[in-house]
Amino acid sequence: MNRVNMATVASNYNPREIDNTADVPGRRAQLVTGNQTYSSITNMVCRVAEDPQPLLWYVLFGFSSLIAVMFLSLIGYLILNGVGIWGNMNPVFWAWPIVNFVFWVGIAHAGTLISAILFLFRQNWRTSINRASEAMTIFAVVCAGIYPGIHVGRAWLAFWLLPYPSLNLWMWPQFRSPLLWDVFAVGTYASTSLVFWYMGMIPDIATYRDRSKSPLRRMVYGLLCLGWTGSSRHWLVYEKAYTLLAALAAPLVLSVHTVVSFDFAVSQVAGWHTTIFPPYFVAGAIFSGFAMVVTLLVPSRAIYKLENLITLRHLENMNKIILATGTLVGLAYATEAYIAWYSMNQYEGFTFLNRQFGPYWWAYWTMVSCNVISPQLFWFKKLRTSLFWMVVICVFVNIGMWFERFVITVTSLSRDFLPSSWGYFRPTMYDGLMLFGSFGIFMSLYLLFCRFLPIIAMSEVKGILSIENHAAHAHDDSHGQSH
Amino acid sequence: MSDHKSRKSNDTKMPKAFGWMAEYADEEDLLVAARKVRDSGYTQTDAFTPFPVHGIDEALGIKPTILPFIVLCAGITGLITALLMQWWTNGVDYKYLISAKPFGITPASIPVAFELTILFSAFTSFFGMIFLNQLPRFSNPVFTNPRFDRVTDDRFFLYVNAADKYYNRESVKELLADTHPDSLDEVLDDSTPSTLPRPIVLGALLLVLAGLIPAMIVLNMRASFSNLPRWHVFFDMDFQPKKKPQQTTTIFADGRSMRPQVKGTVGRGQLTEQDPFYLGYDPSKLSADDASTTVKYVSTNANQDSASQVQASTAVQSMPAQSPPPQGAPAPTPALKLPWVDKLPESIVEASNIEANMKLGKVKFETYCSACHGYGGFGDGLVHKRADSLAQGYWTPPTSMHIERVRKQPVGQIFHTITKGQGKMASYASALNPKERWAIVLYVKALQRSRNADIEDVPVDSRSSLDNELNVEPTK
């Protein structure tokens, strides 16, 4: 066995020496650093699951699974007591549960965007980060799906959302409602992302299988990878299927947040009833999703020593996308303001001023400073390539994106057309704990994923490495010929 | 696939050979070797690589897959399914009327149609891949070679299957050896059992069976009858901690869950039950007046008085309105003894309003009353005339407004007659509001006075002209 031991890997790694963020015109910067070979990539990735987990993993997992258990028990408490334990009250019936739902669905956008859209655009740098972000997508959708499920009040009848002639009434769902479109959009997104994620993992799970020492592990991974052999005939169909899935997932990922925005935009509440919502929501979703990916990958790559695969360049590229989408989001806020004035609609105008200077001014300005101002710092290469600053900014971005959904949902509902029915929303302890708790679910799932499944798409990285090597050979050859 | 063929051709004692497997460290070497093998005419070949090697399909001569077409069909199926589902469920089977929007396929059907198209296509891509690759396949002879474990790591293998029609053990070995592989092995029979281990199969079977139990219970419950009360998994809204009317409670001293009205408050709609303007009598005097009258008023059919009332009305049947009541006939409908209002309400007779109210009363009387009672109030309206000419026994003639009894009635009673009806006459409360009813009373009073006027009622300076015109003394 030609296994690279820890020492070799560690000696290969010196992130300070390698600067693959510098672009030399005419030459492509390396995507993976440290003179990797196929087997060193395999070793580096498999080590994550094969070596005993660091103490930090146990600490984090213990903590997040506790929070997850708390969240699940709170759901039980909610089902026993009803949604009255939340602060949802006339006139704000769509409070935190919907805010959290949109927040998590938004985060779920990065994974499929990286896997599908960057794949279609032949952005090879995606290969090191797509697996982890796809996993994150799935876990974020899990968190997102919980909220509407329990917000319906009688959670045990949530299956009435499906096209099923409901008990005794023989009544079908109402297909002209955006809330039902949401069921289809999020359901399709969740299942397609799951399939996409799983299919991408099959060859890598086969690697795990082939390296397993214990027969049980070998059998479980063997079952999971469906007996994958790496046959070229299989690869051909597999690649075709992967391309098709990417081509299908790309419009899907754009449609999901579009449909989520329809929940608001199709209604007539001032501040919701705008055509800008679909693109604005999609930009915001990519923005928050990328921020979450960066927030997770920076510690993951440090803990598992994956700096040569998830290089600074990968992170920098993501930060550039965060900068672009953050600016788009800022543009959307400005457009909203402009339209509120230009439409001369008194309700739109009022809603906008109310957001900025009404009782929720603090939420609005938190949102603007986190979402519009903080990503602008990424114009500076120093900050864009500093691990510390990128995590700080990304955490702010996610805080800001949560507040964005809060501002949209709560300010519009709390002061609508009829001043006599205005109100002020106050969350309860359970609102707070159940937002916090969803992070427990998310983190537990992510940690388990790191523990048991390949967190980097090894076969894809190897494919890119092969292409890069050949391009380098070809370059050298032509170089040699011309002289 | 074709494993059995090769199995037969070999010695039964020797492990069966499935072909040759050559190992390379570099994908370039593999490509070169693959081209060579293809050029030698072998088609039952395969390469095993840790990642999809660019150009291998051409090097091995692998044909493109039909997966995209299958996915296209699935996508179209998804689209049609979504459209038909929305059209049928919301437009045919259970029509939803939403803002008068049309039924059937509308722009609102697009999101779901789009999502289902994607859903069907995506699942077909995945399962199509599994199906076309004949996965899952847990027992595969290629795994017998321990070196093969590195196929998912960094090694590249070329395989020539013994099922190839040109296959010859020695020549294939020679051909592959010429490509300078790192190793060259014959793929031998897989000694591991090709089926899943027994305990796993049994466990899975048990799980499936156990999973069916709840479904069976539910199905059994739905198909059978039971006299037991419904079994509530969730209470929904069937039981609520609240008091219903007429229940007892320990919260209040009087033990009643219904509460008496708080003093000094007026309930919704209560005014119409208390104000003489809406009633024609003064309810506050009612209780003080005579308790038995109250009883009679509340349930008119329950006592003797009302029986005689029925008798009386039958007696007056078929009696022409204008003819005097026959001798010895029982007394006409006994008057209700209620504390009638005897003065028209202030708002009706106010000097500034009385003229308008009189006109209103005339219009309303002629609209609603004259059909039976006649324009003059003599009970000779068209309806009565027609009924009379048909000579049907059950017709009760409308009472004349000018008979003594009606003339003596206080205004409140006439108001009450219009409001509640009287004998065979129905209530007009639904057609006339209280103000209009009082206006009619005003007009009826004027009618009565005009038909029973005294010479004293005529202004002195007009009396002589009256004499000239009529030459008759006005009836008393």
Are the Cβ atoms of A232 and B49 closer than 8 angstroms? Answer: yes
Least reliable range by pLDDT among B42-51, B84-93, B101-110, B136-145 = B136-145
pLDDT at residue A474 in the model: 62
pTM score, two decimals? 0.72
Higher local confidence (pLDDT), B473 or B313: B473
**If DSSP codes are grouped into helix, strand and coil, which group holds residue A314?**
helix
pLDDT, average across residues B332-341: 71
pLDDT at residue B290 in the model: 54
- Output the 3-class SS for chain B: CCHHHHHHHCCCCCCCEEEEEEEECCHHHHHHHHHHHHHCCCCCEEEECCCCCCCHHHHHCCCCCCHHHHHHHHHHHHHHHHHHHHHHHHHHHCCCCCCCCCCCCCHHHHHHHHHHHHHHHHHHHHHHHHHHCCCCCCCCHHHHCHHHHHHHCCCEEEEEECCCCCCCHHHHHHHHHCCCCCEEEEEECCCCCCCCCHHHHHHHHHHHHHHHHHHHHHHHHHHCCCCCCCCCCCCCCCCCCCCCCCCECCCCCCCECCCCCCCCCCCCCCHHHHCHHHHCECHHHHHHHCHHHHHHHHCCCCCHHHHHHHHHHHHCCCCCCCCCCCCCCCCCCCCCCCCECCCCCHHHHCCCCHHHHHHHHHHHHHHHHHHHHCCCCCCCCHHHHHHHHHCCCCCCCCCCCCCHHHHHCCHHHHHHHHHHCECCECCCCCCCCHHHHHHHHHHHHHHHHHHCCCHHHCCHHHHHHHHHHHCCCCCC
**Per-residue model confidence as pLDDT tens digits over B253-267:** 989 998 888 888 888
CB nearest B129 (choices: A227, A241, A466): A241
Distance (Å) from the alpha carbon of A353 to chain B's nearest alpha carbon = 31
Spatial separation of the C-alpha atoms in residues B43 and B41, rounded to whole Å: 6
Higher local confidence (pLDDT), A19 or A265: A265
Q: For chain A, which domains are there?
A: 37-477 (1.20.1630.10)
CB nearest A184 (choices: B46, B115, B233): B115
CB nearest A233 (choices: B62, B67, B126): B62
Spatial separation of the C-alpha atoms in residues B322 and B60, rounded to whole Å: 119
Asked if A8 reaches chain B (Cβ–Cβ under 8 Å), the answer is no
Q: Which of residues 332-371 of A touch B (CB under 8 A)?
A: none
Distance (Å) from the alpha carbon of B41 to chain A's nearest alpha carbon = 17
Average per-residue pLDDT in chain B? Answer: 82
User: If we measure between CA atoms, which residue out of B143, B139, B184, B136 comes closest to residue B160?
Assistant: B184
Q: Which residues contact B402 (CB under 8 A, 6 or more apart)?
A: B377, B378, B447, B448, B451, B452
Higher local confidence (pLDDT), B226 or A65: A65
Cβ atoms of A206 and A45 within 8 Å: the answer is: no
Question: In chain A, how long is the greatest CA-to-CA distance?
Answer: 84
Read off the pLDDT band of B319 (50, 70, 90): very low
Burial (CB count <10 Å: 0-12, 13-18, 19+), residue A383 = middle
Residues of chain B contacting A44 with CB distance shorter than 8 Å? none
Residues of chain B contacting A228 with CB distance shorter than 8 Å? 135, 152
Average per-residue pLDDT in chain A? Answer: 87
pLDDT at residue B192 in the model: 63
- pLDDT more than 90, % of chain B: 33
Omega of the bond leading into B326 within 30 degrees of 0 (cis): no
pLDDT at residue B183 in the model: 87
**Per-residue model confidence as pLDDT tens digits over A273-293:** 889 999 999 999 999 999 999
Least reliable range by pLDDT among A4-13, A102-111, A227-236, B89-98 = A4-13
pLDDT at residue B123 in the model: 96
Distance (Å) from the alpha carbon of A312 to chain B's nearest alpha carbon = 25
Are the Cβ atoms of A227 and B140 closer than 8 angstroms? Answer: yes
A3, A164, A235, A470, best to mutate vs chain B, most B CBs in 10 Å: A235
Spatial separation of the C-alpha atoms in residues B310 and B314, rounded to whole Å: 6
Are the Cβ atoms of A463 and B52 closer than 8 angstroms? Answer: yes
pLDDT at B65 over 50: yes
CB nearest A192 (choices: B48, B122, B140): B122
Residues of chain B contacting A259 with CB distance shorter than 8 Å? 111, 115
Residues paired with B17 in a beta bridge: B188
Q: Which of residues 196-255 of A touch B (CB under 8 A)?
A: 196, 198-199, 203-204, 206-207, 209-211, 222-223, 226-241, 244-245, 248-249, 251-252, 255
Q: What are phi and psi of A213, to 5 degrees?
A: -95, -40
Read off the pLDDT band of A432 (50, 70, 90): very high
User: If we measure between CA atoms, which residue out of B191, B185, B194 comes closest to residue B148?
Assistant: B185
State which of B228-237, B293-302, B350-359 shows the largest mean pLDDT: B350-359
Dihedral (Cα; A154, A157, A161, A162), 10-degree rounding = 170
**Per-residue model confidence as pLDDT tens digits over A207-242:** 999 998 888 898 899 989 998 998 999 999 999 999
pLDDT at residue A380 in the model: 94
**Per-residue model confidence as pLDDT tens digits over B166-184:** 888 888 888 888 888 888 8
CB nearest B129 (choices: A184, A207, A237): A237
Spell out a b/e string for A297-327, using b for 16 or more CB atoms within 10 Å of the CB, else e: bbebbeebbbbbbbbbbbbbbbbebbbbbbb
Task: Look up residue A456 and give its amino acid.
Answer: I
**If DSSP codes are grouped into helix, strand and coil, which group holds residue A171?**
strand
- Note the Cα B417 to chain centre separation in Å: 43
Q: What are phi and psi of B281, to 5 degrees?
A: -140, 170
User: If we measure between CA atoms, which residue out of B452, B428, B454, B430 comes closest to residue B441?
Assistant: B428
pLDDT at residue A27 in the model: 58
pLDDT at B16 over 80: no
Spell out a b/e string for B46-71, using b for 16 or more CB atoms within 10 Å of the CB, else e: bbbbbbbbeebbebbebeebebbebb
Residues of chain B contacting A233 with CB distance shorter than 8 Å? 46, 60, 62, 133
pLDDT, average across residues B244-251: 89
pLDDT at residue B172 in the model: 87
Higher local confidence (pLDDT), B237 or B48: B48
Q: What are phi and psi of A30, to 5 degrees?
A: -70, 140
CB nearest A234 (choices: B86, B106, B133): B133
Omega of the bond leading into B136 within 30 degrees of 0 (cis): yes
pLDDT, average across residues A473-481: 52
HSE on the CB side for B264, CA within 13 Å?
0
pLDDT at A392 over 70: yes
Higher local confidence (pLDDT), B438 or A33: B438
B115, B155, B159, B192, best to mutate vs chain A, most A CBs in 10 Å: B115
Q: For chain B, which domains are there?
A: 1-191 (no CATH), 271-328 (no CATH), 346-453 (1.10.760.10)
Sheet holding B183-188, edge to edge: B45-48, B156-161, B17-24, B183-188
Task: Look up residue B247 and give its amino acid.
Answer: Q
**Per-residue model confidence as pLDDT tens digits over A186-206:** 999 999 999 999 999 999 999
Least reliable range by pLDDT among A64-73, A111-120, B302-311, B336-345 = B302-311
Strands B45-48 and B156-161: antiparallel
Tokens 């609603």 belong to B368
pLDDT at residue A65 in the model: 96
pLDDT, average across residues B42-65: 89
Q: Searching chain B, which residue's CA lies closest to the CA of residue A203?
A: B152
pLDDT at residue B470 in the model: 63
User: If we measure between CA atoms, which residue out of A60, A91, A99 comes closest to residue A447?
Assistant: A60
Least reliable range by pLDDT among A52-56, A59-63, B470-474 = B470-474
Are the Cβ atoms of B67 and A171 closer than 8 angstroms? Answer: no
Q: Which residues contact B241 (CB under 8 A, 6 or more apart)?
A: none
Read off the pLDDT band of B109 (50, 70, 90): very high
- Angle separating helix axes A429-452 and A55-81, nearest 10 degrees: 140
pLDDT at B200 over 50: yes
**If DSSP codes are grouped into helix, strand and coil, which group holds residue A184?**
helix
**Per-residue model confidence as pLDDT tens digits over A75-98:** 999 988 888 899 998 899 988 999
Burial (CB count <10 Å: 0-12, 13-18, 19+), residue A176 = buried
Residues of chain B contacting A467 with CB distance shorter than 8 Å? 54
pLDDT at residue B77 in the model: 96
Dihedral (Cα; B168, B172, B174, B176), 10-degree rounding = -170
pLDDT, average across residues A353-382: 94
Q: What are phi and psi of A233, to 5 degrees?
A: -65, -35
Read off the pLDDT band of B18 (50, 70, 90): confident
pLDDT, average across residues B314-342: 54
- pLDDT more than 90, % of chain A: 58
pLDDT at residue A22 in the model: 66
- pLDDT more than 70, % of chain B: 83
Read off the pLDDT band of B197 (50, 70, 90): confident
Element (H, E) at A123: none
Higher local confidence (pLDDT), B101 or B65: B65
pLDDT at B9 over 60: no
Residues of chain A contacting B126 with CB distance shorter than 8 Å? 195, 198-199, 241, 245
pLDDT at residue A381 in the model: 92
Read off the pLDDT band of B156 (50, 70, 90): very high
CB nearest A207 (choices: B121, B143, B152): B152
Q: Searching chain A, which residue's CA lies closest to the CA of residue B135?
A: A226
B133, B159, B230, B233, best to mutate vs chain A, most A CBs in 10 Å: B133
Are the Cβ atoms of A235 and B111 closer than 8 angstroms? Answer: no
Distance (Å) from the alpha carbon of B156 to chain A's nearest alpha carbon = 9
Are the Cβ atoms of A196 and B154 closer than 8 angstroms? Answer: no
pLDDT at residue A284 in the model: 93
Burial (CB count <10 Å: 0-12, 13-18, 19+), residue A280 = buried
Residues paired with B21 in a beta bridge: B159, B185
A236, A263, A465, best to mutate vs chain B, most B CBs in 10 Å: A236
pLDDT at residue B439 in the model: 95
pLDDT at B309 over 50: no
pLDDT at residue B4 in the model: 44
pLDDT at residue A481 in the model: 43
